[in-house]
Structure 1
Amino acid sequence: MINQVLFKQTFCLNYENLKTIRHWLKSQSHKLNLSYELSQHMILVCNEYCVNLLAHQRLTASHVELKYGLRNNQARFEIIDNGSHWQAMKEKISSAILPEEPACNKLGLALINTYFPDFKYFLTNHQNIIQFNLPQKKSKPQLLIVDDSPSQLALFATFLRDHYQLILFSKPIEALDWLAHSQCNMVITDLHMPNINGFSFRDKVTEFKHCQSLPFIFISADNKDATLLEAARAGIDDYLTKPLNKEKLLTILKRVLKRHSTLASVFEKQLLAQMTPYQSEFPSKIMLRDITIDIDQYPINQGDFLLYREPKKDKPAMLILGDNMGHGPLAKANGIGWFGYIAGLLDAGIESPKEICEILNQQLIAAPNNRHLICLMIMIIDNNNTVHIYNAGMPAALQLSHDKSIHLEENMGLLGINTQLTIEPKRITLTKDVSLHCYSDGLANHPITINQINRLTHYQAKERHMKIWQNPQRSAIDDKTLISIYR
């Protein structure tokens, strides 16, 4: 199963709804900044699989649930349906191959097997699950190329496809529509095109806030001094004249991307140097009746954030662990803002986990450009020594005792990515033998193995906390937080 759910949603399954499903997957992939290629493959595979369910299941499913997330640092995509079990599904997909000659039909299962060959299909709890381990390719820089000449676009593809992920458009208006909702690493555009020239096109692109610092290269047969001077004054990163030379093109692209990467790195270092922690150092231990809460965090109060509310009269104790998705100073700065927002909700008397998640989710979705995503875990410890865990996009909490280990996989997905939330807690009653371990994804980057987890069951709760925190496989760059709760 998926250990860290990033997005999920349930849909009615019918032919009319397939377009809605495709659009939703495209939107979620964009919010998570998944590559264009992976996004397209997920949409295609999901569509073809659902079509096959509608066409071939003996009792057709009424609903499908789509899930995307991580398991052992491996990206996974799942499709769950409530129809009759299709015993031959796995064999049919595994044996399907694309025809050597172009064809227009009977390609669905072959496309699934081609794009995502590492999959499992099984029946559990009266549901069918097809689970895809997504290819772990090293991501290539993504270039948007605009040229009204099909032959020129074909030449770009020949020169660059081994080194870059290419998004090709022959019409500038279509490129603008794509950029309005997507991101790339560089734009290469022809200077002289029908209806709009390269300068006007660039002005329109920079109207998008997320594109204002995007590197731009012009391609043209126009080598007049006046044109070159105008490009220089406009701050264009480079200007190449046709005909194109492959080696020269590759050299210039590499140089421009490196220059922008260096500038971004310098900016982030300067921003990080000016940032200060946004809360005092959190205690490493909290005592609540006979319950111990051990806390370790590194670095202290930067990317991950922690909030604790002591029990008051009839109100239980509350711990909140949050993490703004992303890396670097900008992610930390955004984390500061959302930490303050959640603290404000608590100060205003809004202490229901359901209300906190719903309000925060609405605010994240309404934020400019909708680029803010939050992992959140709320832990309520009531007077009966029961811990209620509300997990929104964090790795699954680990429950340990001397005779078993369980990952608590109930998860509503990231906040800020989906308007539909299913907010249900996982409830664990603490006994003398049970310990709960909740952690951010910095500790799950290289996850604890099954053998390591089994060894943890032989330790006392305090020692379990220390062993998990000292895991040598934890991330060297991401923020890390571990909370252990036991009696």
Structure 2
Amino acid sequence: MNIQCRPATLKKVSSARKEIGETLKKRGVGDHLSNKIQLCFAEAAANLVNHASPQPTFIDVALECQNESWLLHLSDDGQSWNPTLPNRVQTLDTFEEKEGGRGLALIQSLTDDMEYTKRTTFGTNRLTLKWIIQQITTKPTVLIVEDDDSQRRLYSAYLSEHYRIFEAENGEKALAFLLHHPVDLVISDIRMPGMDGLSLKKALHKHTNTLLTPFIFLTFSDNPETRNNALGLGIDDYMVKPVAKMSLMQSVQRVLNRSDQIYRQLTNKINQRITNALTPSLPRSSHGWELAVASRNTGIGGGDLVLYRDTPDFLMLNVADVMGHDVAAKFFSYAYGGYLRGLMYQVEKEDDPCATLLNRLSDCALEDNLLSQVILTCSSIALFNNGHMQIASAGHPAPIKVSANDVQTLDIGGILPGVLYGAEYEVLSLDVKEGERIAIYTDGLFEAAEDNAARQKLTDKVMEALQQTLALPLHEATEAVMQSFEHYGERHKDDATLILLQIAPQEKI
């Protein structure tokens, strides 16, 4: 696929990003990889448009799949910049400093490899970003445990076309295999020398990772005692030899389907419990401030996270947005919540609690094997008495200040958590007056729309609603703004959270 951004403008970059996303979707690329490719393209291209001197007149984009990798090529005629230099991220060059740290370090963290060719007098700069395609087997795995070699080979032949088959000739070898290699189904003979099938099944009950593994017994001996012993172990099917191919295949498919149903039901219950745990809530007032929060959850993973802690000197408020649209992303939201709660108790005595918290969160996200697997943004706010507040941001959308005459985006930004060791965050301090409000939100509030035109309309309407509801009580205003979001946005595309803050009228203090 080839795309031309001529002239090189942010509008052209935005439309090119959409084309890249549509192309990857048609090629069956998963959302996780597609989001990485789109985000890196947008960062690199916007970087050139906003900060290159001289600015490029064009950016040509080529996307190709080659040697089990996706390659994204960007060619331009602007200022040369080499993001592959070893010291580029550590020194935070002028490109990166100007865009709040999201640029080069983010691109390096989200790609598997990159190459750069500096333009000659009449040539172009060329940046190539690379993502290796992970080869994932889609066949369910089945372990066949049978001491008779011919019977074992026969069952393997029956099933090998549709399943990935492993074999074990007795219970001991099967148990050793299963403790280190999880499978989707075990098919086992009952009568075997050494550890028989019944003993194997009992042994699997002692290990958490094999306790619920689906299990089918095969046997020549169909007597009531053997059958009752087998069924008492919670097996999924019991088949009497000789076993026909069609009967075995039907049994395997039925058992796997049932296992999948149970898994999905369990996943849905866990998903709902995590969703309920992540539902944001805030005190109505604290330290002379009034607060209100409203959120809309897609129900498909990810998660906006709102946490607070009331200290003697200030109320700390943290808003995070974990990128992703599956149950795993929602789990990561829950995991990050645990980190944030702990960090909020460590920064109470710091001069700059918000910046310190984000610095420690970033280092945790970089060092932790679990949390480093996802991208998140975070905004940390401290609310003091007399309308004073401090804000620090780690890649999170900038807050909005609303007054009777203006709706203004505050100038605060910072690098995403988990991109650089020892990341430092600036703090914006301001004093809010009566009649003014501060809006803290996640990006779904403005980006949950189909295309650029729809996003612009959504942005205009939400900003308009923020100002038009200034005279309403805080909770009514918050819900009214969210209703505007629901009317002009597409809430199924992303979670959206809005928090409104204002100082309490003097008579209520």
TM-score by length of 2: 0.48
For the pair shown, which has the larger CA radius of gyration, 1 or 2? 2
TM-score by length of 1: 0.49
